Amino acid sequence: MPTLDEIRDLATTEPGAPVLSALLRTDLRDPENVNGHAPWRTELRNGLSVAEAAVPAGHAHRVAFQRAAAEMERWAAGLDADTRARSVARFVALDGSLDRTYTLRLPLTRTVVVQDRSPYVLPLLALADRGRPVGLVLMGHDRVRLVSWADGVVGEPPGALYALEDGKWRDYAAYAAGNAARAQQTGRHPEGFGPREEHHREGFLREAAGAVSGRVDELGWRRLILVGERRLTDEFERELSPAIRELVADRIARHLVELTAAEIATHVEPDLLELWRAEARGLVARARELAEAGGAAAVGLDATAQALLAGRVERLLVDPFRDFAHEVDVSEAAQAVLHGAPAQLMAERAAEAAIAGGGEVTSLPGAAGEGSELDDSGAIAALLRYQPAIGAGDHG
């Protein structure tokens, strides 16, 4: 998975020759991608045909494109289950000056093939935003376990388990897959049940919450999700220090403390996706409210493009797949920041301008067959760094 810095670098790279971008949703969890079927290869082939139709006239341009397209197809045909993961992306300049490939541990929304002056990065920005790191605090009656989630991958820090028995952090010894004794290992002896429950009532969660509060800075966590029975997460959250409590972004009512890292990743992914969508919906609502009140926000293509031109965008909110062909009242100033992009690439140009100006981007595609949270905002909006005072710039 490319880092955000790598995506920013791609977004501002113009190698001097057109770039062919292929972003393929290869996720084996998709029903259509099993049993040897690979519809993404057909989508790649179709996308390359559409892109070739837009190649500038001239034998040299067409030969260069066909060479790059053939290489894309050879590469896609050679991908195995490990290298294609859940999605892959490749960017190839037609003159050979750029060639980068990325394996993605989160699935793209769809397969996209684009030829443009620079790499097409909006789908990667969506994954980077969705895959922001989060600390998961998994809890049971007699243990609290810490795991980190980022970009679809779960890992465990040293000393991941805080156990009732000794009140200390220690490494978590995960169960091996296929262990026939697993059910026995996770059971409790009746004679030990009463004392453990009593000890728990006397303050185990309070003790564990204090221990977790003391490790959040060390682990670099800026968001927390509490995972466990609701009554446990309720009590645990109350016992966190006020500063750490503010980092709690969500709670998941499941018992996952004894699962392997891979199992945890599978279980929490739907919740994390919904958390990301909820956060994005909140940003969109905030932008609309501010814009309606004359505050530091812009809604719609023209207003957002003018804010981008002024370098005022703190966070761009955009539907990456919206075709802006219906937008006919875009000012000349706004057109300047879009560099005359075709309607289907205006969202990409806006993202490139936001990144060049030091802004962040939330790329918010609609779910398959559904609209986007940005539908009521013209598919594009922005939170701004400041709002000019009325009359500013009118003085001679």
* pLDDT greater at residue 392 or residue 214: 214
Give the span between the Cα atoms of 304 and 312, in whole angstroms: 10
pLDDT beyond 80 at 367: no
> Under CATH, to which class is 134-259 assigned?
alpha beta
> pLDDT band at residue 385, thresholds of 50, 70 and 90?
very high
Fold designation for 4-120: 3.30.960
Give the span between the Cα atoms of 90 and 22, in whole angstroms: 5
Mean pLDDT (whole number) for 204-219: 91
pLDDT in tens, 29-55: 888 887 767 889 999 999 999 998 888
Mean pLDDT of the chain: 85
| CA distance to 61, 248, 270, 324, 396, per residue, from 337 (Å) | 27, 38, 36, 15, 26
> pLDDT band at residue 142, thresholds of 50, 70 and 90?
confident
pLDDT beyond 50 at 394: no
pLDDT in tens, 124-137: 999 999 999 999 99
Q: Determine the pLDDT at residue 180.
A: 40
Is there a contact between 256 and 138 (Cβ–Cβ < 8 Å)?
yes
pLDDT beyond 90 at 119: yes
Q: Is the dihedral of CA 97, 101, 106, 112 positive or negative?
A: positive
CATH of 274-384, one of 3.40.50.261, 3.40.1440.60, 3.20.20.70, 3.30.1330.30: 3.30.1330.30
Domain ranges of the chain: 4-120, 134-259, 274-384
Q: Closest Cα to residue 359, out of 296, 316, 310, 317?
A: 316
**84-98, 166-180, 361-375, range with greatest mean pLDDT:** 84-98
